[in-house]
Structure 1
Amino acid sequence: MEFVPTQDLVVARYATEVTRIEDFADQDVRGWLTINRSARDGRRTPWALRILPDYIDEINSNFPRALIAIENSRNVGCLNGIAMLETRDKITTVGGIDRPRKLYRAIHSGQPGDGITSRLGCGSDAVFFHHHLRRHLRWQSREPSPFLSATDDLKKAVRIAAIYVAKGFSDVRIIKFSAQGPGWEHNVNRMWNPRELARTLSPSDDKDYLDNEVLIEHSIPKDSIVETYRWHEHKAQLDPGGGIEADARAVQSTRDKIKMDRQEKARKLREDDSNKVAEGTGTRVKAEAQDELGPRHDAEESDKKRKANDDNDEGEKPSPVATRRKRYKIGQKMTANSGL
């Protein structure tokens, strides 16, 4: 059996939430991930890194040639972002005696690359690794991921396949593949333990569903696939009695109902807002029609208006006018150097 040694990688670590930049202006933050709207095409990471001037040398030293400037980007002020907190966190791949021999992955026809190539189409990098990891672990995230999830537990793969069936995907399959041997490029198809990554980088991401799971970067070599179970052909073998699929359909039905209720609530809110706008327009038109009858001067009312703008009898000040939030210019947009 091939022995695959572990590899260490030093990566950046980020905060776990999007925050207002002004709230962290005086704290020890290296840079900020901000939305890169030009990359929201589903094929690239839709975030750019803006490095604070005091940390440019540190980041270039820790991640040489890892970043390139985004052409034609302007250094405009930003309101919100994800803070870069550290640049020297060490993580380790799965290797040695801990590396599994066989793995399973549930796939369906809606996945790119026949379900064995990552949605990002490449692996991750040291600068964006933690961000990629956090987005991958959120099932609701639509950002392209450099990772593929797999498991050494066939039962878990069956449960995931049943979820795909319940969601209505076609050609649902479970592939069984060897975790070593022909086709594997271990510097490209790196394997990670997501639970260990979460505990190192963001402990709040350590969830029960990470049991028996591994992540593979870039792709699963096609030559490593040793068996394929197609749901419609092998259902009796994978799910005797159909209980797993039935449970998945029940859960999906509940989720669909919740989604429909939310959509209906949102529709009613939009309808109410439209009615309010229409009512406001009608009131304004009526007022303009009255103004056309000629100006009316009422000294008493004018005096009341002036007094309302003054301090009241108890010395209270009028309500302050809301101020616009401050935008911070925090550097040029940088992205991963795909040429490395």
Structure 2
Amino acid sequence: MSTTVRPAAGAKEVPFAPALPDDMSVEMGSGFLTPGGLVVHTGWSRPLDEPAHVRRQHRAFEGSGSQQWTISTPDGHRAARFPYLYRPDAERAAARIVGALPGGRWPADADTAALLPLALEASEGPALLPLTHKGKPSWGSGYGGDSARFWMPDKRADYERMIAAHGRIPTSCQACARTVREQKRLGWGPRTSHWPKWEVTGHRGAYVQAHCYCGICMGIYLKIGAVKAVTDEAGNTVVGSAAVYPWSESPEITRGVERGDRPFAWFAHFLADAGCVIVDERTGTSLWPENVRHDDALFCETGETGTWDASGVDTSLEEPTP
């Protein structure tokens, strides 16, 4: 880490590296050990001129704009739902997180498996948002750099606890508020309750933007399709899927149909062809979603199920029970 960043009062620079999978070559870097026992640090990524498995720390700079600062345990596990734009903000958030732990700090000999879930739960409330608007926590405008990013829970039970504690709909996103007003005037029904959302791609050990100005809110990523029995190249009967963007044009299906009525034409087509209709918004190939755990997906591209450790890494893949 660059020495242009000076430790805050009470924080000291220490050697640090994130806990990544064993097949990664993680170069040792540094972070700032806070008085409460957690470490704030910049991220690691693949250098452009290095092999795909190499990860190197981003340099940190003082007074040169924002950059991502993450809160982790001393042994390298991410300990906060939000990354922060400035180190002082990350250090203040780390102090609030450890304040909710037994003893009010992260012990040097901490049992990470036992304490990490408590730290993550303490970090996920709206009060820990990295952005503010008029002095209050905010999800940001949604236009880009000032949009909050959020690490989705790695397990369904953690997600359900978060929903029970904080609700489904963020109330301080400026972009969503504007979108709702404008689209309701136009007669649309925008869907702004997409944070937090379990099905979001990359929820396992990766952060996502909690809001986008038009994509998810306005249903741009919706697909409409169906599944039915088909014959593969070997002559076997398998389950196949087909899907399109609801407003797609087709010479056979939507000829002479106004654009606003095309979803209804596709609905009628798939219902007649397969006897069912599925509407989905997850990233995937046709109706097979990507990065979705088998036990939480309507369909899965791998057909595999497994367990997940504290870092979100699948540790015990096994074939699903027939």
Q: Per chain length, whose mean CA-contact separation is higher, i.e. which structure has more relative contact order (CA < 8 Å, sep 6+)?
A: 1
TM-score for the superposition, normalised by structure 2:
0.23
Name the structure where helix makes up a greater proportion of residues.
Answer: 1
Larger Rg: 1
